[in-house]
Structure 1
Amino acid sequence: MASLTEKVPPGVTGAVLRAVFALPGPVKRLVAGAPVRRDGHELALDAQLLLAMMRLEGERRLAGGTVEDARRGIARGQAYLPKVPARPVRTRKVDAGGVPARLYTPKGLAEGTPLLVFYHGGGWVIGSLDTHDTVCRYLAVHAEVRVLSVDYRLAPEHPYPAAADDALAAYEYAAAHAADLGADPGAVAVGGDSAGGNLAAVVGLTARRRPDFALLYYPAVDMSVLRRSRDLFAEGFYLTDDDMTWFSDHYCPEARRAEPAASPLVAEDLSGFPPTYLVTAGFDPLRDEGEEFAERLRKAGVPVALRRQEDLIHGFANMWSLGGRFREAASEAAGALRTGLYAGPRGRG
């Protein structure tokens, strides 16, 4: 039976959510409850308020149950937050080497400017171009780039390595046809969040033409080992340990999880990886593996900026329209991407 909130139009629920976030701080604290502290960090009020609103909606896991239910759930969740940047963004479909994709071009963006090839999150099983539409629009506008969002194949219908194969094929197409897309062939980045960060990392390791920059939001980079943060934040902070197990079981056979195309952290040589901005969330089961990947990049001589948004939760890239800490984190990532592409590969000629 559908829950009450499933019968309410997402626009109505979204309006209520934004109204709650517009309340004065003391009132939001009353709704959210006492501060939450763990592992030396205090959860941001904005994140705690969002989690409290999710609990009011009813216990709902990001994953679990049937694949179809999980896909409907993430699609509905993103429909609560339909706000887009004020600057118009034009979109069009692209066949990226046989992989469907969507190209975002902000109004007034000059020809020959940088390009970001973006892979959406969702545990390789859920998520879509539409669930990450506002993320791509935000990055396009605030980083002054074109964004090619890749509609890679999902598991379990298409298990590993289908998503990684599609990610690489789409990037290779973009790198070879950047000028046709209106972009600078010398300034092509890869990026993604969570499972999309995994795919961006795989492309950074395997592409014939190395990307010029990598933007990795809380990437899932090692399915072969469970780290401390998987226990610390196993429950109660949006993405759970059980969710990650469900995603991994649907995506990749256990016997293949130590392959670099599934777990890029285990790759022996990371020295050819592009300059990187890698951001983690302090209250995220994936925090430790992302930070270990950044440390390995640094030891391999790769220029890397690691940023822990210590008071946020997994998925914050999709939450920027709620403002506050979510928008601050989104703005920092967009600024890093813009700096990395405009001052990096373009400056090197």
Structure 2
Amino acid sequence: MDSEFRALFDAQARAATSLANSTLTALPLVEIRAGYRAQRQAQDKCPPAGVMVRQIEVQGGDGRLGARLYVPDGVATPSAAMAYFHGGGFVVGDLDTHDGFCRRLAVGAGCRVIAVDYRLAPEHPFPAAHDDALAATRWCFDHAEALGADRRRIAVGGDSAGANLAAATANMLGHDPVHPLVFQMLLYPVTWPEIPTVSRDMFDGPVLTKVNLAWFTDCLGFRGHGEADRTVLENARLLHPPPALVVTAGHDPLRDEGRAYAERLVTHGATVDHIEFGALPHDFYIMPDMSPAVPRAIEVTIKRLRTALQ
């Protein structure tokens, strides 16, 4: 593991203050969310300038949702755009935890980013978040002119749980000629494999522990649901999937399912660019102050995204 992250996780373990330990699920939900937000904001204190950020509303699966529109300085109108879904196990995370990363995406890729504040579990169990992601992405197409977006260059993206939402949305729109996605960016996606992968067995943290993964699964509440294949990506119906960038992290329980999903996309005809950052842990994209390795990884990722959206 990257030495800077190893030192961080060792210090957290000694102090017993990491949100990634097994006491997480014993805390009140409001404290869990506030703690995650505070921790991630403290690990990303220098987001780039040169981007206009505006609060907007988009259509969700059951009403309006808050969202943020990021427009980098000097970007053409219309420009490519990405509907972005934050990570956090479908339970934590929000527009603030991923604000810095969305700014980096917009500035680095030269595109508009629409970050969606989708509904969280357990208050809103499956498929609420998936319905929100799908409806919000369709809304971006339908309101492309108002957003300053080129509807021929609209993509979806997300990290962890958000990558699951992005992938599920791409799968649902694979047969929709009115909302033709040009690209999907899946950063360490969770796919809920039916048989535990080697990496899920091997890694019990950092960041994601087995206890917390089980808790996220229970909170989402998709087991036994008639539409569960929307989120269990190894069973999802893939029809004309758009090109994809799939990123995995070497020290991440989700590593192997991300690899497997990249391979599955290829077998269904998608052009896939798979990158693995072997020394990094889960959630690294929103911890750029923790190691020089993260800005380097972000630079590589955004360069690939910029090329894909040209």
TM normalised by structure 2 equals: 0.91
Shift of 1:221: 1.3
Contact in 2 for aligned 1:258/1:266 (Cα 8 Å): no
What is the one-letter code of the residue matched to 1:256?
A: H
Name the residue aligned to 1:36: none
Task: State how 1:132-281 maps to structure 2 within 5 Å.
Answer: 132-207=98-173, 208=176, 209-222=179-192, 224-235=194-205, 237-256=206-225, 259-267=228-236, 269-281=237-249
Contact in 2 for aligned 1:121/1:192 (Cα 8 Å): yes
Name the residue aligned to 1:282: 250
CA distance in 1, matches of 2:290, 2:203: 23
List gaps (5 residues or longer) in structure 1: 1-42, 343-349
CA distance in 2, matches of 1:279, 1:198: 13
List gaps (5 residues or longer) in structure 2: none
Contact in 1 for aligned 2:248/2:255 (Cα 8 Å): yes
> Which protein, 1 or 2, shows the higher relative CO under an 8 Å CA cutoff with sep ≥ 6?
2
TM normalised by structure 1 equals: 0.81
Name the residue aligned to 1:124: 90
The sequence identity of aligned pairs, in percent, is 38
Query: Do residues 44 (structure 1) and 13 (structure 2) align?
Result: no
RMSD over aligned Cα atoms = 1.7
Shift of 1:238: 1.6
CA 1:257–1:288: 2 relative to 1, 3 Å: farther
Q: Secondary structure at the match of 1:84?
A: coil
Q: Secondary structure at the match of 1:158?
A: coil
Contact in 1 for aligned 2:222/2:228 (Cα 8 Å): no
Larger displacement relative to structure 2 (301-310 or 47-56): 47-56
CA deviation vs aligned residue, 1:232-254 (integer Å, no higher than 9, x gap):
1123x221121111111011242
Shift of 1:185: 1.1
Name the residue aligned to 2:36: 74
CA deviation vs aligned residue, 1:250-280 (integer Å, no higher than 9, x gap):
112422398221212212x424111000000
Q: Secondary structure at the match of 1:296?
A: helix
CA distance in 1, matches of 2:308, 2:107: 15
